[in-house]
Amino acid sequence: MIPTPEKRIVDFEHMGFGMFVHWGLYSQLGMGEWTYLLHKRNMDEYKKLSETFTAEDFDAEALVLTAKDAGCKYITLTTRHHEGFSLYDTKGLCDFDAPHSAAGRDLIREFVDACNKHGIVPFFYHTTLDWYNPDFEGDFDKYLEYLRASVEVLCRNYGKIGGLWFDGNWSKQGADWKEDELYATIRKYQPDAIIVNNTGLGARGQVGNPEIDSVTFEQGRPTPMNREGMSKYLAAEMCYTLNDHWGIGECDFNYKSPAQLIESLCACRRVGANLLLNIGPTAQGGVDPFQRELMKLMGKWMSLYGEAIYEGKPHPAACANPKNFALRSEDYLYFFIHELGIGGDKHVTVEEECNGNFVFQNVSEPIECVEWMNNGEALEFKQEGDKFALYATNYSYGTSTCVRVARAKIKK
C-alpha cells in the first residue's frame, strides 16, 4: 500500500521546477564552492574575504525574476555553506555573517522579501558541516547546538518559508547528528516546511530520518520511487548544475546545452521528481549573463509546456522509443515526444523528418482529442484496448523545442 502524501509534499511536487543558488565568500575567488578545502587555504586568510564581500551586485529582485522567468516556482539559496559564512543575521550566534561583513546587510531578508513580492517560494539551504567553527571537530555536541540555534533563527525571523535543505551529514557517517532535535525545531516554528537532507553523490535516493520529506538525487537522474510499504509518502528532487560547479567557476566553460537541461527536466518529471537547477552568482552577487540567458531559454520552453510539468504525474504508458513517456493530470494525458524532425526542404533542414505513429502501451484512459501544446495543431490518433497510437507530425520549419508535448483530453 502506498501512503497518502501530506499536503506540503503534494504542493512541493506540483512546483516541479526550482532554482538552486550557490553564493558565498568563495564566489569572490571564482574557483567553486569547495575552494577553501580543495585548494588548502588558510582560514585566517580566508575569513578576510568577508572584508571585501560588499554584495554590491546582489539584487534580490533580479535574482528572483531570473527564477520566475525560467518557470521556477521556488528558489533554494545557500544561507550558509560549508565555509561557515552566513548570508543572514545570526542574531549574535557568530559574527561571521553578512551583517558583519563589508555588505553590512541581512541578504536573506532581501531574498525572502523579493520572493514574497513575486510569488516565488523561498527555501533555505543550510550546511550541517562547518569548516570555520572549531567545535565541528573539537566539541561536536556543542557544534550541533550552534547548528540547531542557527536554524531556529532562520525559522523564526523570515515569515513562512517553503523548506530547509541540509547538506553535510555525509561528512561524519555514523555520527549522532541529533536530527530529531533539529527537525523538531523546524516543525515547531515552520510546521509546513519541506525538510530535505542531501544524501550526496554516493547515496542518491536514500531514505533518511522519518521527518525528511524528499529524497535527493545529486547530479544524477532520479529513478522511480517505490513507495509500497513506506511509512510516509516521500517526494524526490534532483539537484543539477549548469556547468561543473555549484559556486561560480570563472574558468568552467563546460556548460550543458539547453537540450540537455530540457531533457533532464522531463526525465525528472517522468518519475515524479522535481528539478532543482543551480546558478552560481558572481563575486558580489550578480547573476552571470550567460547563466541568466540559459534560464531564460528554459522559461521559453516552460511557457509552451509548463502545464504538463506542473500538473502531470507519472503514468505507466510505455513507448518503443524508451525516451518517450506520458504524464497524467485530472483531465489530460501529456505525451512527451523526443527526436522529432523538422519539416522542410532537405537542403535546409538539419535532420531528416521524423514523424509517424508513436505507439504507447498501457493507456487505458479513453481519449477525446489530442493537440500539440506549442501550437494547438490537432493530431490524429487511434485506440485499441490499452494501445494508443499517436500520429505525431514533425516540427514546422523555424521550430525545434527538443522535447515536444501533446496534450490528450480524457473523456469523462
Question: Does residue 208 carry a pLDDT above 80?
Answer: no
Domain termination residue (choose one: 269, 294, 312): 312
Segment 304-326 shows an average pLDDT of: 97
* Band of pLDDT at residue 219, cut at 50, 70 and 90: confident
pLDDT of amino acid 202: 58
Nearest in space to 15 (alpha carbons), one of 78, 67, 88, 80: 67
Cell numbers found for residue 159: 515569515
Cα dihedral 204, 205, 209, 213, rounded to 10, equals: 120
Cell numbers found for residue 228: 509500497
The answer to whether residues 247 and 98 belong to one domain is yes
The answer to whether residues 56 and 133 belong to one domain is yes
Residue 62 vs residue 343, higher pLDDT: 62
Question: Does residue 203 carry a pLDDT above 60?
Answer: no
The answer to whether residues 224 and 307 belong to one domain is yes
The CATH number linked to 341 is 2.60.40.1180
Instruction: Tell me, yes or no, whether 1 lies in a domain.
Output: no
The answer to whether residues 278 and 353 belong to one domain is no
First to last CA, the chain: 27
The answer to whether residues 389 and 340 belong to one domain is yes
Domain termination residue (choose one: 312, 329, 355): 312
pLDDT of amino acid 83: 98
Nearest in space to 370 (alpha carbons), one of 324, 338, 326: 326
Question: Does residue 172 carry a pLDDT above 70?
Answer: yes
* Band of pLDDT at residue 207, cut at 50, 70 and 90: confident
Segment 349-355 shows an average pLDDT of: 54
pLDDT of amino acid 223: 85
pLDDT in tens, 255-268: 999 999 999 999 99
The answer to whether residues 84 and 199 belong to one domain is yes
The answer to whether residues 125 and 152 belong to one domain is yes
Domain termination residue (choose one: 274, 293, 312): 312
pLDDT of amino acid 378: 98
Residue 1 vs residue 200, higher pLDDT: 1
- Distance (Å, whole) CA 283 – CA 281: 7
pLDDT in tens, 239-295: 999 999 999 999 999 999 999 999 999 999 999 999 999 999 999 999 999 999 999
The CATH number linked to 31 is 3.20.20.80
- Distance (Å, whole) CA 117 – CA 305: 25
The answer to whether residues 182 and 257 belong to one domain is yes
The answer to whether residues 387 and 297 belong to one domain is no
Cell numbers found for residue 47: 575569513
Domain containing 357 equals 315-410
The answer to whether residues 331 and 276 belong to one domain is no
Cell numbers found for residue 95: 559574527
Residue 90 vs residue 342, higher pLDDT: 90
Q: Where are the alpha helices (DSSP H) in 107-168?
A: 107-118, 135-138, 140-157
Q: How many domains does the chain divide into?
A: 2
Instruction: Tell me, yes or no, whether 2 lies in a domain.
Output: no
Question: Does residue 348 carry a pLDDT above 70?
Answer: no
* Band of pLDDT at residue 227, cut at 50, 70 and 90: confident
Segment 208-232 shows an average pLDDT of: 87
In Å, what is the CA distance from 294 to each residue of 29, 73, 79, 94, 301? 23, 17, 24, 37, 11
The answer to whether residues 172 and 143 belong to one domain is yes
Cell numbers found for residue 20: 538552486
